Amino acid sequence: MKLLVTGGCGFIGSNFIRYWLNRYPTDKIANLDKLTYSGHLSSTKDFVGNNNYSFVKGDICDPKVVDKCMKNVDIVVHFAAESHVDRSIIEPSVFVKTNVLGTQVLLEFALKNKIKRFHHISTDEVFGDLSLNSKNKFNEKTCYSPRSPYSATKAASDHLVRAYYLTYGLNTTITNCSNNFGPYQDPEKFIPRAITNLIADQPIITYGGGEHIRDWLYVEDHSRAIDLVIKKGKIGDTYLIGGMHEEIDNLKIAKILVKSFGKKGKYIKFVKDRAGHDRKYAINPEKLRKLGWHPMYKFKPWLAKTVDWYKKNEWWWRPLKIKAEKLYQRTGQV
């Protein structure tokens, strides 16, 4: 079997390729990635020499590149997206082009090339947010209510995928995941930024009062869920992937990290909150559980393992750290 993975040099995409090559060593994977700020060839260093892996540098908005990459492919797993909310506030047009137009181009050529399955990776952010004291959780029937340019473009891409299933009969599935964490995550995101700041003896930067709550999912649990949906998911359906066993806000995460480093004093710095910052995400993954999935990796022990990975792999994140901090200098949140 041959897979085309879009955005396979990004955080989740590279971890998925690593997972798939280990679990299905006879399958072939082609990785199509534009290598933007979030795509790093260094994230593929450990499997780039695998004979069943190939890399194509290209844009999902380019019809010629996409058409060529779709030849003889069985499954498309579509990760490629502009995904950082802060960046979407600064440059929303870039997000519209990649996340909406890029997805449409992929769908069009998946249809043309008779792809057996088109699996689309989306986010729980399309559902908007919950109040901090809410006991509600997102599920597959939750109405869309995106609150940032990023989540609005991901919502649009979800609708396009469903339209190609309903209108043209393309075999599609969608997963909406919660916030991921783990190795190879760019240091501009909250958890790796916090970890790398502490390694550099700098404080953790926290928006507002750190009250925001996320449903954290270890990245390999995400790969396992995608695998299961591709194998057993119902064509045309959507599945939500959430990993938390308990609610935890960003301030508590910051305190856990500071304590794990044995730091004393003020290592948490509060800055002005982000515009339109969603307060809380929570997922009910019951539909996915009925397929046989459950999260294997609990948050606190795998956060500790993630810290250990960043300590041992400065070669990977040090070159990216300067660019990451420039983003926050632009927004004044440093």
- Which residues are annotated as catalytic? 124-125, 150
Q: Are strands 2-6 and 75-78 parallel, antiparallel or unpaired?
A: parallel
List Cβ neighbours of 330 (8 Å cut-off, separation of 6 or more): 90
Per the CB < 8 A criterion, the answer to whether 110 and 102 are in contact is: no
Q: Which two tokens stand for residue 250?
A: 């960003």
Q: What stretch of H or E contains 123?
A: strand 117-123
- Label residues 34-63 b or e (16+ Cβ within 10 Å = b): bebebbbebbbeebeebebbebeebbbbee
Which residues are CB-neighbours of 56 under 8 A, at least 6 positions away? 30, 31, 32, 33, 65, 69
The 8 Å CB, 24+ separation contacts for 130-136 are: 130/279, 130/280, 130/281, 130/282, 131/279, 131/280, 132/211, 132/213, 132/279, 132/280, 134/280, 134/282, 136/282
Q: Are strands 117-123 and 75-78 parallel, antiparallel or unpaired?
A: parallel
**Three-class DSSP category at 37:** coil
Backbone angles phi, psi at 305, to 5 degrees: -70, -35
Q: Rounded CA gap, 85 and 68, in Å? A: 31
DSSP E strand boundaries for 131-219: 172-177, 180-181, 204-207, 217-218
